[in-house]
Chain A
Amino acid sequence: MSTFTSKSDSVLSARDRELIVATQSGLPLVSDPWAELGKQLDMPADEVLTRFQRMQATGVIRRVAAVPDHYRLGFRFNGMTVWDVSDDAIAELGEKIGCLPFVSHCYRRPRHLPYWSYNLFAMVHGVSRDEVEHKAAQIREVLGDACTGHTILYSSAILKKTGLRLKKQTDKQ
């Protein structure tokens, strides 16, 4: 159905890209945001909406949503739990950890021995350190013997949070 068949097939058209650049700091907070964007970019409102729908269908946009400052919501403890899981078991166990309702992101990442032996990352948020540790204990239980070590990295400051940004298209393309 989609005209975007593969990543190499230039997933983003120049017009999609203009929409991304126009909205990366936020969607207009007006009754008809598509018309508002259309006015800015000289594009019919229904085309703006169709392009957004298509970008969401192809996964370029996960969703159009609110991003909270989790500290302000009371989730002051943001624990990046990291686990050293045997390579044989990580695919299966990673799926299980990712399905735990309190795990917001779960990825396999490379080790950097000898400094960094953890290959499974699961992000856990809580209103207290106890809550994060209780959740980590549940992860530990699921991993069982396949896990030989873990730690929790708490964030103590947000140093930057701008989200992903595209630059305005330059002349070179």
Chain B
Amino acid sequence: MSAIAERSKSSDDKPTLPEFTPLERAIINRLQYGLPLTPAPYKDVADELGVSEVTLLQHLKALLDNGTLTRFGPMFHAGEMGGGLTLAAMRIPEADFSRVTEQVNSFPEVAHNYRREHELNMWFVLATETPEGIIETIQRIESLTGYPVYNMPKEQEFHVHLHFEV
């Protein structure tokens, strides 16, 4: 079981906010909006935040190393790359959950996978190089795991503005 899973499992109901320094907060908030695509992008953000470029890079590296940030880089839009993208769900009995998690996660096409508290208890994003790859991957997952996969591709996108203010 991963550290992330254990942490969320042992969570109690008290909302606890982690401690960040004002600079860490500023970096987390600012960099979710995106790096300017300029010749010296880190310098430009550092100037905006009133710190040196070296300080910004050190803090960014530390936030990645300690897992506060899972990634810093380009966020691709699979649909625009000409590939396939979908959300899929499965209904997995508890006794089989670990095995199926391992099997589903072994597919490189599975980008994110979340356990959710519902009869459909496993939800993952599939990204494939071609639109046809989605159906093919779903069939491979079904035959490997022995459970049906419910394909829920987006039919319409209303808005995407994922941003966590800390």
Is A26 a contact partner of B15 (Cβ separation < 8 A)? no
Fill in one digit per residue for B109-148: 1 if any A CB lies within 8 Å of its CB, else 0: 0111111111110111101010000000000000000000
Is A157 a contact partner of B77 (Cβ separation < 8 A)? no
**In the docked arrangement, what's the CA distance between A72 and B16, Å?**
10
Chain A residues contacting B111 (CB-CB under 8 Å) are 160-165
**In the docked arrangement, what's the CA distance between A32 and B38, Å?**
10
**In the docked arrangement, what's the CA distance between A139 and B97, Å?**
32
Is B57 a contact partner of A164 (Cβ separation < 8 A)? no
Chain B interface extent, by class: 35 or more
A interface: dominant SS: mixed
**In the docked arrangement, what's the CA distance between A163 and B72, Å?**
11
* Contact of B95 with A by CB under 8 A: no
Is B15 a contact partner of A127 (Cβ separation < 8 A)? yes
Pick the contact of B112: A64, A71, A99, A160 (CB < 8 A). A160
Is B155 a contact partner of A24 (Cβ separation < 8 A)? no
Is B101 a contact partner of A74 (Cβ separation < 8 A)? no
Is B155 a contact partner of A107 (Cβ separation < 8 A)? yes
Which B residues, 85 to 125, have Cβ-Cβ distances below 8 Å to chain A?
A: 85, 87, 89, 91, 101, 104-105, 108, 110-120, 122-125
* Contact of A49 with B by CB under 8 A: yes
**In the docked arrangement, what's the CA distance between A62 and B162, Å?**
11
CB distance from A134 to the nearest CB of B (A): 13
Is A69 a contact partner of B70 (Cβ separation < 8 A)? yes
Can you list 28 A-B pairs with a CB-CB distance of less than 8 A? A23-B73, A26-B64, A46-B39, A52-B37, A60-B77, A62-B77, A63-B74, A64-B37, A65-B72, A66-B27, A66-B71, A67-B70, A68-B68, A69-B4, A71-B8, A72-B18, A74-B166, A108-B154, A110-B153, A153-B120, A153-B123, A155-B8, A156-B117, A159-B2, A159-B105, A160-B111, A161-B113, A164-B76
